[in-house]
Amino acid sequence: MGWLWNSGGQSSAKNNLDSGLQDFLENSAHAPPEPTTTQSPTTSVQQTTSSEFTDESRAPPPTQFKDGRYAHLWKTYQPLEELENRGKTDQEKLQDVVDTYNARKARIGEIAQENCSLEYMEQYECFRHPSWTQMATVCRAEQKKFNRCYTMQSKFLMALGYLTMDERPQDEYDRIQLHADKLYRQMIEQEEAINKAKAAGQPIPEFEPVMSKTNVARVMGIQASNITDDDVWKDIKPSAREQYEKKFAKLSKEEQEIERRAVEGELRVNNSMTKTLEAAFIEERIARMKRRETGQATVGDMIKTWWGWG
């Protein structure tokens, strides 16, 4: 590459090039520019849009184009998750439902710990550098504070629907996490105000339950009328309902409302999971009967038939 610094300038550098390359550069330099044609948007759309999808109403939503372009590609598109599920056995589909529920429940514990990170650090620092008083109590106050935060935050998350089996965008889960923390901090502020009034001999202030529709709506930034209650207790046996009521009766008025909402959130998920499993069992039974009718029954099908599964 020494020719770059040749004192002869550009002409000397050009003379050192291959003769064929020199001819190409010479012809290119004198060639007139190609005229550019301006095409109207209407013409472009007509060329890129399949005649089958010229009607906007017929364009599939995934195209994200109102003029229907690329609709012929989306027509046969199948998500990867759908393709993977198609290749799963009936047992694997049932296992997926259970695994999703367990994973979501475990995630609630992780989120609750994130919301209680300050309480956790207080407990950690107490164990790491305790004062004489903390050493004598083995950091009992700090442990109690963290444990209560963790337990209550978990209940708020369940009450707000974090455990639901429906898939949501991540930002919705983040909002639920934020709402749960706001409600817990509001509960702590109310308790501190009550304790302060008691210590000063003043009238005890009254607050609306933290999990009331008004409070939940205020924290979530929605109208209270938009929060609907579905009767999740109708499918619960009377004996089980009685046990729940006895459990609620042992709690304070504030804690009763929180516990009830949390239980309702968990029952709502359990009911949804039960219906999903029932539908999966019915689908699996139909597929097993079809295999038996066509003479393609597996060993597992035969065993289930012997056990009376149909």
Q: What percentage of the chain reaches a pLDDT higher than 70?
A: 66
User: Does 63 reside within a domain?
Assistant: yes
pLDDT > 50? residue 50 = no
**pLDDT score, position 102:** 86
User: Does 205 reside within a domain?
Assistant: yes
pLDDT > 50? residue 148 = yes
**pLDDT score, position 265:** 85
User: Does 60 reside within a domain?
Assistant: yes
Q: According to the per-residue pLDDT averaged within each range, which of 34-43, 173-182, 289-298 is highest?
A: 173-182
User: Does 3 reside within a domain?
Assistant: no
User: Does 195 reside within a domain?
Assistant: yes
Per-residue confidence band for 282, with pLDDT thresholds at 50, 70 and 90: confident
Asked if 42 contacts 57 with a C-beta cutoff of 8 angstroms, the reply is: no
**pLDDT score, position 228:** 65
**pLDDT score, position 120:** 95
List Cβ neighbours of 219 (8 Å cut-off, separation of 6 or more).
Answer: 179, 182, 183, 186
Q: Indicate whether 212 and 146 sit together in one domain.
A: yes
Q: Indicate whether 138 and 174 sit together in one domain.
A: yes
pLDDT digits (tens, 9 = 90+) for 58-100: 445 555 667 777 777 777 776 766 666 665 666 777 787 788 8
Q: How far is CA 141 from CA 115, 145, 146, 160, in A?
A: 19, 6, 9, 28
**pLDDT score, position 9:** 46
Q: Indicate whether 65 and 104 sit together in one domain.
A: no
The Cα 159–Cα 266 span in angstroms is: 8
Q: Indicate whether 54 and 143 sit together in one domain.
A: no
Q: Indicate whether 106 and 169 sit together in one domain.
A: yes
- Give, in degrees to the nearest 5, the angle at Cα 127 between 123 and 129: 110
Q: Indicate whether 64 and 113 sit together in one domain.
A: no
State the total domains in the chain.
2
User: Does 86 reside within a domain?
Assistant: no
Q: Indicate whether 164 and 61 sit together in one domain.
A: no
Q: Indicate whether 195 and 68 sit together in one domain.
A: no
Q: Indicate whether 187 and 265 sit together in one domain.
A: yes
Q: Residue 38: phi, psi to the nearest 5?
A: -95, 120
**pLDDT score, position 208:** 83
Q: Indicate whether 124 and 161 sit together in one domain.
A: yes
The Cα 205–Cα 254 span in angstroms is: 14
**24-38, 70-84, 89-103, 220-234: which range is least confident on average?**
24-38
Q: Indicate whether 272 and 123 sit together in one domain.
A: yes
Asked if 190 contacts 207 with a C-beta cutoff of 8 angstroms, the reply is: yes
* Structural domain range at position 129: 92-245+252-293
Give which of 148, 107, 110, 119 is closest to 255, Cα–Cα.
148
User: Does 229 reside within a domain?
Assistant: yes
Q: Indicate whether 174 and 61 sit together in one domain.
A: no
User: Does 11 reside within a domain?
Assistant: no
